[in-house]
Structure 1
């Protein structure tokens, strides 16, 4: 078994799509649009078989997660970049470009090399080797 995809509700569908395509080399299918529900989505694909669905629909309430606190439920997803150098470089570039870095690159107690950044809407992304 494997996880087929992760989905994120978003306020700025095009902005989020551009972020993941620009910084993570995601490719995008054509948008899906359900006129009845005014639901729009993009399915983004990464170099392996991993996919990210970005979704937008009126009436979806804002996320109540606080970036300074942890809570139950899905808290982050990790993207493997392939090397420590790539983790360092992308973390630095995202910081330069004005994105929030929650945790600078480091080796964790369980041996992972990672940083944690926020996407444009505050979702946590763990950048790892």
Structure 2
């Protein structure tokens, strides 16, 4: 078994698609729109086959959670970039482009080398080697 995809409700579908394409080399499918429901989405495919679904519907409320705090529920997902140098380079590129780094690059106690960044809508992404 494997996780087929994760999904995120987003406010700005195009901004989020562009972010994941630009920084994580995701490849988007054609935009799906259901005009009757006011729903639209993209599936983004990453190297290795995992996918992220970005979904938008104007009636979905904002999350009550503070993205700088931890809380029960799905709190992050990790994207492997292949090496420690790649983690460092992408982290610095995101910082230079104005994204908030909430976890500096480090070796974790469980053996990962990672950093943590917030995407444009404050979702946590672990960047791992």
TM-score of the two chains, using structure 2 as the length reference: 0.98
The count of aligned residue pairs is: 129
Structure 1 vs Structure 2 CA RMSD = 0.6
Superposed displacement of residue 54, structure 1: 0.3
Runs of 4+ in 1 over 3 A off after TM superposition: none
Aligned partners of 1:67 and 1:7: how far apart in 2? Answer: 17
Superposed displacement of residue 63, structure 1: 1.4
1:49-128 pair list within 5 angstroms: 49-128=49-128
Unpaired segments of 5 or more residues in structure 1?
none
Residue 6 (structure 1) aligns with: 6
TM-score of the two chains, using structure 1 as the length reference: 0.98
Unpaired segments of 5 or more residues in structure 2?
none
Aligned partners of 1:79 and 1:99: how far apart in 2? Answer: 16
